[in-house]
Structure 1
């Protein structure tokens, strides 16, 4: 397979998964083409090919000298089965979260060495989220976008695609939008845990990064699917 085609396909699939999952929301702008080139470590041709494919699928709109805009509007009830159906798949959903808890701390810790943390696209918004976030229904998207930045910075889009796939199978977009009854202390811990992750990343201490990520994933597993 042509290498350029492979690279553009990887970028296309990764961005597509972010859009379909709700990580990239309707009306939001993608990074500029030069920024995408830098993030994915590819040339302009591969990025343009990927963006063209997304546009043809009706997921984005592009314009001259403007960053692409997400025009895909997802519906949580169309995107996921109803709550009862998800509850019936409790064991498989739990298995996804256990998998994330097992592998993501090591993968993210490894990938973090390739990036300047404060230069990542969603660093500022994540920092603000840990201090001032008010909308609990969208809490999943902010740290998730930052984690995706770290994975993409490794230069291997497969890792970011893996993460997006796990989130989708774990019903992350649906569950976090539906869990209106989330306990205040749990939500407070979630913000604190992300703050600890940011501090560890900035300090450049891999073991602290891994420990904080492990704690984060262990605690953010949906309460209703934990084993007692």
Structure 2
């Protein structure tokens, strides 16, 4: 697996593309979690995280002890309804995002305390290189990978879930042309790392 691509991103992009391309059409069942683990050589936690994100984004429906069902309609028959819903709940969506945006820097600062020196050295080099990259999309991906890796080190599923929700909502805010920025400066042991989420949104 390439360094720039996490197992989460790999599985998410694969399933996302297969759903949108009709490999798993509306109403079909996704393979079981254990089957996904074996097929894509990823852990159960990665599978659960990916399925949670797809559920949040409205691609699948999950229920306890039942197959995962694809609810994404490639014909976009419900597109107008979805747009209307977002517009009607604009203030609530923004309020949720602002709340998460205020919490996440503290969560990152707490999570990074569990990171090893080697982990921090690795990411400090990557972040420094990213500053000189003129490709905004590439810089965004580096930041997302960094933040996801920090939360993975925390071994706290709630923290990762909040980050997934935050990333899902940012697409809605882009549609609403609403930008919210926050930055975080972390000092841990011999490392000082600054990262900005303004680039993401």
Q: Which bracket does the TM-score occupy, shorter chain normalised?
A: 0.3 to 0.5
Structure having the larger proportion of residues in strand: 2
Q: Which structure has the higher relative contact order (CA within 8 Å, separation 6+)?
A: 1
Q: Please give the TM-score of this superposition, normalised by the length of structure 1.
A: 0.43
**Higher-helix-fraction structure:** 1
TM-score by length of 2: 0.48
